[in-house]
Amino acid sequence: MNFIPSQLPGVIIIEPDIFGDERGFFMETWRAAHYAEHGIPEQFVQDNLSLSQQGVLRGLHYQHPDAQGKLITVLQGEVYDVAVDIRVGSPTFGQWMGITLSGENKNQVYVPPGFAHGFSVTSDSALFMYKCTRIYNPNTEFSIAWNDPDIGIEWPSASPQLADKDQQAPFLKDISETQLPKYQAEPGS
């Protein structure tokens, strides 16, 4: 397994070892001690699964104060997955990274607490699974506009299908700092 740091500190891309033959394949999707060795120490407490059609964009979502870390895998189909650093005071505040995840490449991405997350479905449909470090709390969930010009995400579609709450989401600059997580530098940095 390869654990690859992204340009956003804490966001990690995981390329699993895949063992396949004419019968199919096998891969390990989670082993706590192995992932902890590579900077993913969180305990996961909830698994989620969603099915979305092509053109659907979900996000950008985050919880505060109940921030969630997410380990993301696409089981079938393909998505463009995005993480945005929204930690007030972070050197990378407002910056984003994107990666294509698919049932074919079987890659994972870990998005730590303190980041907003979203994805856009680029195949006919996508079966999207993610492990969470905190339980979903609708009272502390917020959204940021998917098309925030200050963030400048290069989504694969300029006119995605959005949920009502995502259509109403504010730009990051219009969100009170009290509704955003705070950056805490790693010891020794």
Residue 160 banded pLDDT, cuts 50, 70, 90: very high
User: What pLDDT sits at residue 86?
Assistant: 98
Kindly tell me the burial class for residue 135, based on how many C-beta atoms sit within 10 Å of its own C-beta (0-12, 13-18, 19 or more): exposed
User: What pLDDT sits at residue 90?
Assistant: 97
Mean pLDDT to the nearest integer, 11-37: 93
Annotation marks residue 61 as catalytic: yes
Q: What is the pLDDT of residues 90-146, one digit of tens each?
A: 999 999 999 999 999 999 999 999 999 999 999 999 999 999 999 999 999 999 999
Please tell me which residue in 61, 62, 64, 110 is annotated as part of the active site: 61
Are the C-beta atoms of residues 161 and 57 closer than 8 Å to each other?
Answer: yes
Domain ranges of the chain: 2-15+41-159
Annotation marks residue 64 as catalytic: no
What topology does CATH give the domain 2-15+41-159?
Answer: Jelly Rolls (2.60.120)
Please tell me which residue in 34, 38, 130, 183 is annotated as part of the active site: 130
For residue 42, pLDDT over 90 is answered with no
Q: Is 178 helix (H, G, I), strand (E, B) or coil?
A: helix
Question: What is the signed CA dihedral for 32, 113, 154, 104, rounded to 10 degrees?
Answer: 20
DSSP label at residue 33: H
The residue with tokens 């449909």 is: 125
The overall pTM is greater than 0.75: yes
Q: What is the pLDDT of residues 58-101, one digit of tens each?
A: 999 999 999 999 999 999 999 999 999 999 999 999 999 999 99
